[in-house]
Chains A and B, each alone.
Chain A
C-alpha cells in the first residue's frame, strides 16, 4: 500500500557519501493493488482510488447521519451538517448567484466537501496522499461542472442564444467583437474546464512534492555534524510549518473550485447584461 514512495535507504545521510535523493514525479505513481476487466476495459485499483472511494463513503455517511432525523433543535451531527451547508449557501451561492441559486446548493455542497476531503488526505497519517494530485480526478470533476453549466445555459437561454450571449456582450464598439467573440468562446467553452482542473491538480501536486522534499531532506540531513543537526531541525520545522500551510491551501482550493463552479452556473442562469 505504501508503494513506490522513494524512501532513501537507511544509510543514506549527509556524510555517508550519498547524494540527496530528491523526489521526482515518480512519487505520484502507485503499484496496482487489484485489477479487473469490465466491458473490455482494464480497471486498476491503486491507493488513490481506494482513498477516493473512502472519501466518497465518508461524506455520504456524514451527511446521511446529519440529515437522518432532522429536528427543530439540531443534535450534534445535524448542527455540524447545517453549519457546512449554510457556509456554502451563504458564502458562495448567495454571494455569487443570488437567491435563485439555492437550487444548486446541494451540488455545490457535495463538490466543496468532496474536493476538501480528497485534498485533506494529503496530511492524514497513513493516507498521506492528496487524491486530487492525480490529474484524472480533477479532470473528472471539472468535466462534470462543464456539462452542468453548458447544459444549464442552453436550457435557460436557448441553445443558440446561449452562445451569442456569451460571444457578444452588449455595449461595445462593433469592431471589437471581431477580436472579442472568438476569445470569449474559447475562454468560456475550452479554457474554463481546463484551468479548473489544472488549478486544483497543480496546487495539490506542488504541495505534496514540497512536503516530500522537506521530509526527505530532514531524514537525509541527520548526521553527526553541525550542518546536519541544524539542517535537519530546520527541514523538520519547515515540514511542520508547511503542513499547516497546506491545510490552508487545501481548504482554499476546495473553496475556489466551488466558487468558480457557482460563477459558471450563475453565468449560465443569467446572461451578462
Chain B
C-alpha cells in the first residue's frame, strides 16, 4: 500500500487543540446554565455551585488528559 498523505511536525499541540474543543463547549454550557440557575433561584446558590463545580471538574478532566497525552506519548 502506498502512502497517500502524511502529517509530520509537532502534532502534540494539534492534538491538544482538538481535545480542548469538547470540554470547552461543555464547560461553557455548565457555567452558563449554572449562572442562569443562580439568577433564577439565588437561595439555592450552595447546591447549584457545588454541582456546577462537580460538572466542571468532570468535563475539564478530558481537556487535561488531552494536555498530558502529548508529553507522555511522544
Contacts and interface: CB of A to CB of B under 8 A. Distances in A.
B57 A25 contact: no
Contacts, number: 41
Nearest to B46: A95
A203 interface: yes
B31 interface: no
Main secondary structure of the interface of B (DSSP, over half): helix
B50 interface: yes
Interface in B13-31: none
Given A199-B57, A199-B60, A256-B53, A95 B67 contact: no
20 contacts: A25-B71, A95-B46, A95-B50, A195-B58, A195-B61, A198-B65, A201-B68, A202-B65, A202-B67, A203-B64, A205-B68, A206-B67, A255-B53, A256-B53, A256-B54, A256-B56, A259-B50, A259-B53, A259-B54, A259-B57
Interface of A: 25, 91, 95-96, 195, 198-199, 201-203, 205-206, 252, 255-256, 259-260, 263
Interface of B: 46-47, 50, 53-54, 56-58, 60-61, 64-65, 67-68, 71
